Chains A and B, each alone.
Chain A
Amino acid sequence: MSPARINWREVFARFGLVMALVALVAILSLLSDRFLTPSNVVNVLRQISINAIIACGMTVVIIGRGIDLSVGSLLALTGVVGAGLAVGGLPAGFAILAALALGTALGTFNGLFVAYAGIAPFIVTLAGLTIFRGAALAYTDGRPITGLPPLFLTLGSGTFLGLPAPIWLMLAFLLVTHVILRFTALGRAVYAIGGNEEAARLSGIPVRRVKAFTFAYSGLAAALAAMVLNGRLNSAQPSAGVMFELDAIAAVVVGGTSLFGGRGGVFGTLVGALIIGVINNGMNLLNVPSFYQQIVKGGVILAALLIERIVATRRT
């Protein structure tokens, strides 16, 4: 092959995702003149912010070759506990910090079972999914908590420099996650464990501690998403976040992170969340009935994985 020739396989592997997003945006802006307006773009970003925040945590777990099915329930539990503490009289700032700490603790609980008891992440977090949901319903007796203090509302609907707070929180969390994954020893260890756990262990990496961390981080992400959701709804619902784990996993895998671990990153996840968000938004604008929207969404996930499978450079 001559050096001047473009390696299309390589190009697709690196930029295919962004190209797909651009193509999608182009098509939708042709189909609807309301699509590519500033207000609708902000709208899409705000709509994906909660999913993207959860998906950041999920990306870390999946790169470490795990999976976290408990995030939706964890979001509900930390949401109602944070709201409950604030309504009960704790200063709002402390209530929010307490909710974030609780999320981290619950994630650690998952992580300890995975890393130290050696139970499959799928099973541990499936158990977490029902335990946390049950706890959220028990804590609130099944009723939403209302009358949240102003700070909560700020997180959900405040604006800064013209953009809604959820978008800033999403971007900040993406950046923090990216820095951890790419510029710290901890992040490097996550990739190593996901890529080859045995080699990581023989290299002296504290495999169990790092695995527990990934789940703790996912718990933190879900708790942060809970705060944003509380603010947007102006209440805390014990039934919030049902199926959110699947949306997050979809964003991660559409974003090119391998479910087999060791490969991927949060910018891919952001693009994945955008692709899903843009499709949802576009179909709403085009008045596609919601039943069909679900079918299309599933189809997109399958197509993304199929394309990844085809263009992925296989190793020998």
Chain B
Amino acid sequence: MALLRMSEVQKSFGQVVALAGVDFELEAGEVHALVGENGAGKSTLMKILAGVQPPDSGSMVLADRPVRFASVNEAQAHGIVMVYQELALVPSLSVAENLFLGKLPPLVGHAALIRRARERLAEVELSLDPGSEVGRLGIGERQLIEIARALAREGRILVLDEPTAALSASESERLFGIIAKVKAAGVGIVYISHRLEEVFRVADRVTVLRDGQRVGTRRVAETSADEIVQLMVGKSVRRHHRAARGEERTLGTFEAAGPNLEPLSIDLSAGEIVGLAGVIGSGRERILPTLFGLEGSASWGGAPLRSPRDAIRRGIVLVPSDRKTQGLVLDLSVQENVSLSTLPRLQRLGFMDARRERAQTRHWIERLSLRPPHPHKPVFELSGGNQQKVVIAKTLATEPKVLLLDEPTRGVDVGARAELYDVIDGLSQRGLGLLLSSSDTEELIGLCDRILVFRGGRVVTELPSPFVYEEVVAHVTGAHQLA
């Protein structure tokens, strides 16, 4: 008898079909891995399970009883607990207080709380002082506390979303130990991961999603990493072709190192697009912020890059991964945002040169076909794709030599995405050097001249064009090592 049975679950966001009738089953005491490329529908499926979003149609049966969750609280009351990638702990409270947050009776004795917390921590073999402040703990320990908290809520089903992304090797080992214990206690675990070596280590079964559909469920003992990669990739269709490039002119060499990044160097030629691939926690997501002078240490052509100002002055600009918090001032207009990086050169005798500013904005609105083409619209009224164009316009207005693109199409719909690809391609034609960091393999394959694959804070492979989809996915997920 299955603990959980989800059948024919459908979910659409506007025109985009996230789940096109997916079945999923979980037994008590089973670890069931959920894998698939970005956008395959893993997160959506789990959000439906956890009551974050309602499905459009389909049914859920939990322990033989049909259920439907209107809220996260309702799902939790049924023992379904999700541990998110982004941690949801209160840093200023103690470990014990966090463990029972929201579940505390009105009056709690300090001693009793500490005692109960210690019991919970013992269950997951965490030897931590329950009285210590969560903010002082490492990210790995916090992740383990989250899992302890999930269990403190008497979970029957535990959903772990990329749980090892922030963990060190030894912390990952502890996590696997905890998973084994929890599993032995009869809890069903859904394990979402991009790392196939982990999937093959901890899971009993694995379900592969692709484009909102279940393409297969296998017993781990009866499948191979190659087969899983095949299922994830499907028939590889290349949607974007990159024109062959002519002469090579070297622009320079980046050097970078940081806390979670071993020293590395990247040579960049004019017109070249270098892809950076790797799962979260591989070090890939740290490269571009490092090169832009935000963390760690970096240099370009031998001279250090200490700050964003430094980088911009030397012709290196960043399109950051989160445009709303890092890229745009949402209350300001399109024009005001486009001008942000070029304020010094847009002034004359200390005043803004209104004519030049208008001309610059109009130029970029046209060149990137921004819609609607209104320079005075506040950017928070634009769609995701058009907001991203504003960020790109802002960076290009500085006339850079090197463009760093961090997840440029995150949260951008399909049509706008194709347009952004054309823009990126066009920039390389004009002789810019580009570094493209992305968790979307198809995007990397379609746009790049070569791809650097990261794992454990360093480059493990460099793949030259033309790429084989399966091969890239195999390297990124670590399936390559298992074969």
Interface residues of A (CB under 8 A from B): 179, 183-185, 188-189, 191-192, 195-196, 198-206, 262-263, 315-316
Contacts and interface: CB of A to CB of B under 8 A. Distances in A.
B341 A196 contact: no
19 contacts: A183-B351, A184-B350, A184-B352, A185-B344, A188-B352, A189-B343, A191-B336, A192-B332, A195-B329, A196-B329, A202-B320, A202-B326, A202-B327, A203-B308, A203-B340, A203-B341, A204-B313, A205-B340, A262-B329
Given A199-B327, A200-B329, 12 more contacts: A188-B339, A188-B352, A192-B329, A192-B340, A195-B330, A202-B294, A203-B308, A204-B341, A204-B398, A205-B340, A206-B309, A263-B331
A200 B328 CA distance: 8
Contacts of A184: 347, 350-352
A10 to B, nearest CB: 13
Nearest to B398: A204
B318 A195 contact: no
B127 interface: no
Instruction: Using C-beta atoms within 8 Å of the partner chain, give the interface range for chain B.
Output: 20 to 34
Contacts of A189: 343
Interface of B: 292, 294, 308-309, 312-313, 318, 320, 325-332, 336, 339-341, 343-344, 346-347, 350-352, 378, 380-381, 394, 398
B273 to A, nearest CB: 22
A191 B335 CA distance: 13
Given A191-B332, A192-B329, A263-B331, A201 B308 contact: yes
Nearest to B289: A202
Contacts of B346: 185
A195 B309 contact: no
Contact of A199 (B326, B351, B352, B380): B326
Contact of A315 (B308, B318, B336, B380): B380
A22 to B, nearest CB: 27
B96 to A, nearest CB: 30
A316 B330 CA distance: 10
A198 B309 contact: no
A203 B352 contact: no
Contacts of B394: 203
A178 to B, nearest CB: 13
Nearest to A198: B326
A200 B351 CA distance: 19
A308 to B, nearest CB: 14
Contacts of A195: 329-332
Nearest to B319: A202
Contacts of B336: 188, 191-192
Nearest to B327: A199
Given A185-B347, A192-B329, A200 B352 contact: no
Nearest to B309: A204
B339 A199 contact: no
A315 B352 contact: no
A184 B350 CA distance: 6
Contacts of B381: 315
B318 A196 contact: no
B435 to A, nearest CB: 16
Contacts of B339: 188
Contacts of A185: 343-344, 346-347, 352
A311 to B, nearest CB: 16
A206 B341 CA distance: 11
A199 B331 contact: no
Identify which of B336, B339, B351 gathers the most chain A CB atoms within 10 Å of its CB.
B351
B329 A199 contact: yes
Nearest to A185: B343
A191 B380 contact: no
B475 to A, nearest CB: 31
Contacts of B294: 202
Contacts of A315: 330-331, 378, 380-381
